[in-house]
Copies of this chain bind each other. A is one copy, B any other.
Amino acid sequence: MSFSVAVAGASGYAGGELLRLLAAHPDFDIQTVTAHSNAGQPLASVQPHLRSLAHLTLVDTTPENLAGHDVVFLALPHGKSGEVTAQLDEATLVVDCGADHRLTNESDWASFYGGDYFGAWAYGVPELLVGADGAKQRQNLAGVKRIAAPGCNASTVALSLAPGIAAGVIEASDIVSVLAVGPSGAGKALKTNLLASEILGSANPYAVGGTHRHIPEIAQGLRGAGAADVSVSFTPVLVPMSRGILATSTARIVPGTSADAVRAAWQSAYGDESFVQLLPAGQFPRTADVLGSNSMLMGLAVDEAAGRVVVVTAVDNLAKGTAGAAIQSANIALGLEETTGLPVNGVAP
Contacts and interface: CB of A to CB of B under 8 A. Distances in A.
A312 B183 contact: no
Given A246-B237, A286-B204, A345-B50, A183 B196 contact: yes
A290 B201 CA distance: 11
A176 B251 CA distance: 10
A305 to B, nearest CB: 5
- Which of A287, A345, A348 counts the most B-chain CB atoms under 10 A from its CB? A348
A246 B203 contact: yes
Interface in A175-211: 176, 178, 180, 182-184, 188, 190-192, 194-206, 208-210
Interface stretch (A97-105, A152-160, A291-299): A291-299
Interface in A202-258: 202-206, 208-210, 231-233, 235, 237-244, 246, 248, 250, 252
Please tell me how many copies of the chain the complex holds: 4
Given A196-B198, A231-B306, A303-B233, A286 B48 contact: yes
A250 B249 CA distance: 13
A301 interface: yes
A172 to B, nearest CB: 12
A115 interface: no
Given A47-B348, A48-B279, A202-B244, 17 more contacts: A24-B343, A51-B293, A176-B250, A176-B308, A180-B203, A180-B239, A188-B192, A196-B238, A196-B242, A197-B242, A198-B286, A201-B201, A204-B286, A205-B246, A205-B284, A205-B299, A232-B306
